[in-house]
């Protein structure tokens, strides 16, 4: 983990409960008046007044520090070796599936590409990357 990420967690842990809404933007833990944690609330800077504003009214406890950023989760690959059928012209599966077709789709052939290759191209959302077996 990066040093900046560890520092942000250390600052978060050193926070305290307060009655006032925090003034910085972020997602803050909240607790009811009895002291039970209830979830979290978002504080943002209003675009015209430039003052802190909550996502909804809250009359309970606020944690003084926002939740730190989490480290990015690794890619979830159920089948990293999967081969996807795509349009040979635009290299998009959504075109071959007839969802969003390219100009050359009428005369285009199909080709097979790995998920790794498709990620490098970054041409479409992964929701279209289904194997022929999944589409059948």
Rounded-to-integer distance, Cα 14 and Cα 27, Å: 16
Q: Is position 48 within any domain?
A: yes
CB proximity list for 2: less than 8 A, separation 6 or greater: none
- Mean pLDDT confidence for 57-74: 86
Q: In this structure, are 94 and 44 located in the same domain?
A: no
Q: Is position 74 within any domain?
A: no
Q: Is position 19 within any domain?
A: yes
- Across the beta sheet with 61-63, the strand order is 17-18, 61-63, 26-31, 37-45, 52-54
Q: In this structure, are 130 and 88 located in the same domain?
A: yes
CA 49 to chain centre: 28
Q: Is position 78 within any domain?
A: no
Domain that holds residue 128: 83-135
Over pLDDT 90: what percentage of the chain? 54
How many separate domains does the chain show?
2
pLDDT at residue 48, as a whole number: 86
pLDDT digits (tens, 9 = 90+) for 85-122: 999 999 999 999 999 999 999 999 999 999 889 988 98
Q: Is position 92 within any domain?
A: yes
pLDDT at residue 51, as a whole number: 85
Q: In this structure, are 59 and 87 located in the same domain?
A: no
pLDDT at residue 2, as a whole number: 82
DSSP H/E element including 134: helix 132-135
For residue 22, is pLDDT > 90?
yes
How wide is the angle at C-alpha 70 spanned by C-alphas 64 and 75, nearest 5°?
A: 165
With left for phi above 0 and alpha for psi between -120 and 50, is residue 105 left, alpha or beta? alpha
For residue 75, is pLDDT > 70?
no
Q: Is position 58 within any domain?
A: yes
Q: In this structure, are 89 and 58 located in the same domain?
A: no
For residue 64, is pLDDT > 90?
yes
Q: Is position 72 within any domain?
A: no
pLDDT at residue 61, as a whole number: 95
**Could you give the C-alpha distances from 121 to 75, 94, 114, in angstroms and in order?**
16, 14, 11
């Amino acid at each position: 983990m990066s040093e900046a990420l560890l520092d942000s967690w250390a600052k978060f842990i050193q926070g305290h409960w307060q009655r006032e809404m925090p003034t910085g933007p972020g997602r803050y833990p909240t607790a009811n008046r009895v002291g039970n944690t209830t979830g979290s609330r978002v504080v943002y800077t209003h675009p015209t007044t430039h003052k802190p504003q909550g996502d909804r009214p809250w009359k309970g406890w606020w944690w003084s520090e926002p939740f730190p950023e989490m480290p990015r989760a690794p890619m979830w690959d159920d089948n990293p070796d999967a081969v996807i059928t795509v349009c040979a012209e635009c290299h998009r599966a959504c075109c071959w599936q007839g969802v969003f077709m390219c100009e050359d789709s009428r005369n285009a052939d199909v080709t097979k590409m790995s998920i790794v290759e498709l990620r490098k191209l970054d041409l479409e959302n992964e929701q279209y990357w289904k194997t022929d077996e999944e589409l059948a």
